[in-house]
Amino acid sequence: MIRDNQHILNRIHVVADAGVIVISYVLAWYLRFESGLFRQDPWFLPWRVYMTALVFIVPGYLILYYIFKLYTPKRVQGRRLEAWHVIQANVIGMLVFILALYLRHQTNFSRMMIFVFFCVNVTLEIFMRNIIRIILRKIRSKGMNQKHVLLIGYSRAAEQYIDRVKTNPEWGYNIRGILADNVERGHEYKGVKVLGRIDNLMIVLPENKLDEIVITLGLAEYHKLERIVNMCEKSGVHTKFIPDYNNVIPTKPYTEDIQGLPVINIRRVPLNDPINRWMKRGVDIFGATVAIIIFSPIMLAVACAIRKTSPGPLVFEQERVGLQNKPFKMYKFRSMVVQDTAKEKGEWTTKNDSRVTPVGKFIRKTSIDELPQLFNVLKGDMSLVGPRPERPQFVEKFKEEIPRYMIKHQVRPGMTGWAQINGYRGDTSIKKRIEHDLYYIENWTMGLDFKILFLTFFKGFINKNAY
């Protein structure tokens, strides 16, 4: 059974972690005192004193790794999340180490060595865990170390689960079949068959060595949930529940406890947190100021080119819908001939549009026409990163056609965004664009913003869909 394998893997993992901690610590001592990279103090403590500390460091760090869930199964856990847990555990370990030295008045114990140990240990731990991850995934993709799963209920959730498992064989999930009342026995989806009715569960359980039961009931069958959970718990098999309301509730809802009553909040928006908003706003102000200084020669050159080639204003103001559905004036370099406002509002720009000037065609293709929006960022109408704002008439249209479209207005619109760096800008799928915008809104971190800004330089400036 996979549970036995997991116990063995966990023991191997603990031993490997202990080895990495010892190697990192010895290497840190060598780098600090023997490598010549650091100035040597005449009073440094002997080798024996430093090595004695390992008696406390090794078990202490292993306990921290356990607390930060570094020994849980990693079949579907992301590398970045695991790396973040490694860093968190090591930060706590370093702080506790320094505090213990302070309380014991060990002033001669090298703090620099502790910091070097932190850097080396984090690096080696992440490297070692990624090697183990790669090895396990290769083993699982070859049909070994499999986790045997039975699905209860046929629904969209069941199909989506099967889709993901089939797409990722390295996870090592083997779906043995489905028990369902709403589909005939023998029905098949991507090689997974319906074995019988849900009432057959008590017959199937003793006959199959299952590692996991996954409840994937359709919404109309939720009245059966309590009975199914009771049957599953009697079997002693680990049970999971995948809700069939993914189109209604997003992937990361959060719960509140009202005197023991769980309350599910439909959507988690990290930027509703005041600290997150202030941090993002600070980055926006700093980034926009620096960008204006850097790009000022380009903006000056574009302004001169527009002035010489086409009569009319240099900067074009267009009404867009922003945070909390409030309209604002978005700035762009004028890339089209001056035209009637009412006519401009009702039309998309099309390929080979006669209204686009020669200079305008270039600055639209390279996104240079967007640079004046840096002043929108300074004003607070926009952010450097966020969902792209749309014109009011299209907002009215899309909110009726695309579910959850208006959620994008819960955060400030951006000059660039997750959808744009993934190719959804200009004349592309609005539905796909909204899916990416919702992912950004629900999964926002400052690190994600920096990633999007970095990728914008490689993927975001040249717009193949700009006309």
User: Tell me, what's the pLDDT at 75?
Assistant: 62
Q: Are residues 59 and 98 in the same domain?
A: yes
When pLDDT is cut at 50, 70 and 90, the band that residue 460 belongs to is low
**Mutual angle of helices 79-103 and 54-67, in 10-degree steps:** 140
The confidence score (pLDDT) of residue 122 equals 95
Last residue within a domain, chosen from 141, 175, 193: 141
Secondary structure class of 367 (helix, strand, coil): coil
pLDDT of 2 above 60: no
Residues with Cβ within 8 Å of 210's Cβ and at least 6 positions away in sequence, in order, are 148, 149, 150, 176, 235, 237
Residue 35 lies in a domain: yes
Beta bridge mates, 256: 263
Asked if residue 263 is part of any domain, the answer here is: no
CA distance 62 to 54: 12
The answer on 168 and 127 residing in a single domain is no
Is the Cβ–Cβ distance between 201 and 214 less than 8 Å?
A: no
Kindly tell me if the per-residue pLDDT of 387 is higher than 90: yes
| Domain identity same for 305 and 210 | no
DSSP string for residues in 319-364: EEE-GGG-EEEEEEE--B----HHHHHT----TT-TTB-HHHHHHH
At residue 312 the predicted structure's pLDDT band, cuts being 50, 70 and 90, is: confident
User: Are residue 171 and residue 63 in the same domain, yes or no?
Assistant: no
Question: Tens digit of pLDDT for each residue in 211-222?
Answer: 888 999 988 888
Residue 63 lies in a domain: yes
Determine the Cα–Cα distance for residues 447 and 219; give it in Å rounded to an integer.
Answer: 36
The pLDDT tens digits of the residues spanning 145-157 come to 778 889 999 988 8
Site of tokens 């926006």: 284
Q: Where are the beta strands (DSSP E) in 91-144?
A: none
Mean pLDDT of 380-397: 92
| Residue 418 is assigned to a structural domain of this protein | yes
Q: Say whether both 239 and 307 belong to one domain.
A: no
Q: Is residue 333 domain-shared with residue 360, that is, in the same domain? A: yes
- Do residue 30 and residue 54 come from a single domain? yes
Residue 258 lies in a domain: no
pLDDT at 320: 94
Identify the CA nearest to 216 among candidates 154, 148, 149.
154
- pLDDT at residue 389 in the model: 92
Token pair of 451, please?
Answer: 């990633």
Same domain? For 277 and 386 the reply is yes
Same-domain check for residues 213 and 167: yes
Per-residue confidence (pLDDT) for residue 77, from 0 to 100: 66
pLDDT confidence band for 386 (50 / 70 / 90): very high
**CA atoms of 305 and 66, how far apart (whole Å):** 62
**Of the residues 108, 141, 174, the one at which a domain ends:** 141
- Whether residue 250 is predicted with pLDDT greater than 70 in this model: the reply is no
Instruction: Yes or no: say if 411 and 255 are a contact pair by the CB < 8 Å rule.
Output: no
Residue 282 confidence (pLDDT): 94
Judgement on whether residues 356 and 291 belong to the same structural domain of the protein: yes
Average pLDDT over residues 238-258: 73
From 90, 122, 141, give the residue that closes a domain.
Answer: 141
Q: Are 346 and 395 in contact (CB under 8 A)?
A: no
Q: Is residue 255 part of a domain?
A: no
Say yes or no to pLDDT of 70 above 80: yes
Residue 194 carries which DSSP code? E
Q: Which of 73-82, 115-124, 341-350 has the lowest mean pLDDT?
A: 341-350
What pLDDT sits at residue 13? 84
- Summarised one tens digit per residue, pLDDT across range 339-376 is 666 555 555 565 666 677 888 788 888 888 899 999 99
Are 10 and 107 in the same domain? yes
Q: Residues 28-39: pLDDT tens digits?
A: 988 888 877 777
Q: Look at residue 322 and tell me if it is in a domain.
A: yes
Point out which residues pair with 213 in neighbouring strands.
Answer: 150, 239
104-108, 347-351, 455-459: least confident range: 347-351
Encode pLDDT of 255-306 as tens digits: 777 777 877 777 778 888 889 999 999 999 999 999 999 999 999 999 999 8
How many other C-beta atoms are found inside a 10 Å radius of the C-beta of residue 30? 13
- Check whether residue 312 and residue 365 sit in a common domain: yes
CA distances from 133 to 2, 15, 421 (A): 16, 16, 28
The H or E element that residue 264 is part of is strand 261-265
Domain of 205, CATH number, reads 3.40.50.720
CA atoms of 193 and 15, how far apart (whole Å): 41
Amino acid letter for position 173: Y
- In angstroms, the CA 453 to CA 385 distance is 7
pLDDT at position 442, please?
A: 86
Compute the distance between CA of residue 328 and CA of residue 318 in angstroms, rounded to an integer.
8
Q: Report how many domains make up the chain.
A: 3
- Residue pair 306/333 in contact (Cβ under 8 Å)? The answer is yes
Distance CA 109, CA 115 (A): 12
Q: How confident is the model at residue 406 (pLDDT cuts 50, 70, 90)?
A: confident
Average pLDDT over the chain, rounded to an integer: 84
- On whether residue 412 sits in a domain, the answer given is yes
Residue 416 has pLDDT above 80, yes or no: yes
Strand segments (E) across 338-453:
383-385, 414-416
What residue numbers bound the domain in which 56 lies?
2-141
Determine the average pLDDT of the residues in 455-464.
Answer: 69
| Rg of the chain on CA atoms, in Å | 29
